[in-house]
């Protein structure tokens, strides 16, 4: 129990950093004025929108000096893309369900957030080639209740959480008959709801569900399986007005070819485990 509480506290700390103060955006570099102009291809900065509540894809950890750092597979990819473009990367962290609007308004140049291309999103943005295909989505439940769930139907009448605006929320409404969707904007809040029995289960992308299950002895992955995962892609503004996609796809191709992505996965897993145990 003590270990669990410590884990819970550190997870809360880790993610509350991402969501603190109600101000959903913060930047990694300070030299850029808050009121940045609409990015164009001539700017020396690449503005990267993400939702850093999603280890191992994007999360915040405290480095040795106690400074907040962004890390994760998507963050490493963004850093590589910026380096390949010869630009400085600026991270803008926000709730997942604000990312598409921020991209449409030109507040960010790219979005990388374990994001799948859906029909609806494809009307609002353009997507790169795939850079990663996760395990299928998984259902996280309290360890003590895991035997109760044997099929998708066994979630009927239960409160099932998912992050607002994600494909996981669509799974709850479309594939889990009779389940009541609890949609919250941050994954850390969802995990709290589950830990404190305010909901019965949560649906997350596979690797993310595994992170939380491994970090928390009270939580377990349900054996009930969900369908295939769609690959994650980088989103840019519709029509790619700044002409970024070609370079992004080239960076992805190289990272896939030279095994760089696998190294990022390893690095992200090590760091997120460390961040959770701090």
User: How long is the chain?
Assistant: 278
CB atoms near residue 152 (< 10 Å) = 18
Half-sphere exposure of 110 (CA within 13 A, CB side): 33
Considering only 46, 48, 51, 216, the residue that binds ligand ARG (CB under 6 A) is 51
Considering only 114, 172, 195, 210, the residue that binds ligand ARG (CB under 6 A) is 114
Give the torsion sign (CA, 189, 192, 197, 199): positive
Gyration radius (Cα) of the chain, Å: 18
Secondary structure of residue 208 in the 3-state scheme: helix
Pick between residue 230 and residue 256 the one whose CB is nearest to ligand ARG: 230
- Fill in the DSSP letter of residue 57: T
Binding mask 60-99 for ligand ARG (x = CB under 6 A): ------------------------------------x---
Q: Rounded to the nearest whole angstrom, what is the least distance from the CB of residue 150 to ligand ARG in the complex?
A: 25
Residue 103 and residue 59 in contact, taking contact as beta carbons nearer than 8 Å: no
Name which of residues 145 to 174 contact ligand ARG (CB under 6 A). 163, 166-168
Pick between residue 167 and residue 216 the one whose CB is nearest to ligand ARG: 167
Pick between residue 200 and residue 205 the one whose CB is nearest to ligand ARG: 205
Secondary structure of residue 153 in the 3-state scheme: helix
Pick between residue 90 and residue 146 the one whose CB is nearest to ligand ARG: 90
Strands (E) across 12-158 are located at 45-50, 59-62, 68-71, 88-93, 110-111, 125-132, 138-142
Q: Rounded to the nearest whole angstrom, what is the least distance from the CB of residue 264 to ligand ARG in the complex?
A: 15
The answer to whether 53 contacts ligand ARG (rule: CB under 6 A) is yes
Give the whole-angstrom CA distance, residue 18 versus residue 197.
23
Q: Rounded to the nearest whole angstrom, what is the least distance from the CB of residue 181 to ligand ARG in the complex?
A: 14
The answer to whether 54 contacts ligand ARG (rule: CB under 6 A) is yes
Pick between residue 146 and residue 212 the one whose CB is nearest to ligand ARG: 212
Secondary structure of residue 197 in the 3-state scheme: coil
Residues in touch with ligand ARG (CB under 6 A): 51, 53-54, 58, 96, 113-116, 163, 166-168, 187, 205
């Amino acid at each position: 129990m003590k270990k669990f509480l410590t884990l819970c506290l550190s997870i809360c700390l880790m993610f509350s950093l991402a969501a603190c103060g109600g101000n959903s955006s913060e930047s990694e570099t300070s030299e850029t004025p808050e009121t940045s102009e609409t990015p164009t291809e001539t700017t020396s900065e690449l503005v990267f929108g993400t939702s850093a509540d999603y280890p191992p894809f994007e999360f915040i950890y405290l480095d040795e000096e106690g400074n907040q750092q962004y890390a994760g597979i998507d963050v490493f990819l963004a850093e590589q893309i910026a380096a390949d473009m010869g630009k400085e990367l600026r991270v803008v962290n926000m709730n997942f369900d604000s990312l598409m609007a921020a991209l449409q308004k030109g507040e960010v140049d790219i979005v990388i957030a374990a994001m799948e291309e859906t029909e609806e999103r494809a009307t609002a943005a353009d997507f790169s080639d795939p850079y990663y295909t996760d395990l299928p989505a998984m259902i996280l439940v309290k360890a003590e209740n895991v035997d109760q769930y044997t099929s998708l139907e066994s979630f009927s009448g239960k409160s099932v959480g998912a992050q607002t605006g994600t494909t996981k929320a669509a799974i709850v409404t479309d594939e889990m008959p009779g389940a009541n969707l609890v949609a919250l904007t941050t994954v850390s809040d969802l995990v709290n709801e589950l830990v404190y029995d305010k909901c019965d289960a949560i649906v997350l992308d596979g690797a993310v569900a595994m992170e939380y299950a491994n970090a928390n002895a009270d939580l377990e992955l349900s054996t009930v399986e969900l369908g295939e995962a769609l690959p994650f892609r980088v989103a840019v503004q519709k029509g790619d007005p700044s002409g970024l996609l070609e370079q992004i796809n080239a960076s992805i191709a190289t990272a896939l070819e030279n095994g760089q992505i696998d190294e990022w996965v390893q690095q992200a897993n090590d760091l997120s485990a460390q961040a959770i145990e701090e």
